[in-house]
Chain A
């Protein structure tokens, strides 16, 4: 069972906006910045959002992140077929002294 909680699945049609949630506790999301990763089949996770809401160079501005208290969310606007992937949230946990992850959300573009 993952330390951070995400919905197992999400879906949307091309052009729509979808959001994926991530909830944790005071020792992880409540105390540290939150990152989002995109994982395509048979590839390593790729950093999508860092420091709650920052995009690395090359990540489209259709992707945005936010955090409030012990929860965070990833929003994808203008959904495209290439966005179909698994999305994971991750942060440091001060109690466990290690990186913790969500269970992942499989995004389907209908």
Chain B
């Protein structure tokens, strides 16, 4: 049974960096078949995919164009987790952030519990 446990602050000041972590149990961040995603949800933008990291003999990242200049997703193999960093945040980045696994056939099959991040001074 795969479980994803998110952690990180719920309040970030404008222009600062949003940082979240997703700890994986029941699978490996270095899996050759899974990819590890960050997705956010807000009333104005709905569900929005932000990016993912995955290992296929080496590490790869895919990022959404809307955040490409501001986002970094990193794996941490020592702790079996992955992280999200979103720079230069504005109030428009206020959302519930989810981490999620995607695997062949099942696609986005397992999600973290969600973290409400508010961007406010």
Chain-B contact segment, one of A11-19, A64-72, A100-108: A100-108
> On chain B, which size bracket covers the interface?
20 to 34
Looking at the complex, which one of B47, B98, B109, B114 makes contact with A47 (CB distance below 8 Å)? Answer: B109
Chain B residues with CB below 8 A from A63, complex form: none
- 1/0 contact string of A85-110 vs chain B (CB within 8 Å): 00010111000111111111000000
Interface size on A, residues (CB 8 A): 25
Q: Which residue of A lies closest to B62 (CB)?
A: A97
**Interface secondary structure of B, over-half rule:** strand
Contact B114 A56 (CB under 8 A): no
Contact B47 A33 (CB under 8 A): no
- 19 CB-based A-B contacts, threshold 8 Å: A2-B47, A33-B105, A35-B107, A44-B98, A44-B112, A45-B47, A45-B98, A46-B111, A47-B107, A50-B109, A91-B107, A98-B49, A98-B62, A99-B39, A99-B49, A100-B49, A101-B47, A103-B46, A104-B46
Binding site for B on A (CB under 8 A): 2, 33, 35, 37, 43-47, 50-51, 56, 88, 90-92, 96-104
Binding site for A on B (CB under 8 A): 37, 39, 46-49, 51, 62, 64-65, 98, 102, 105-114
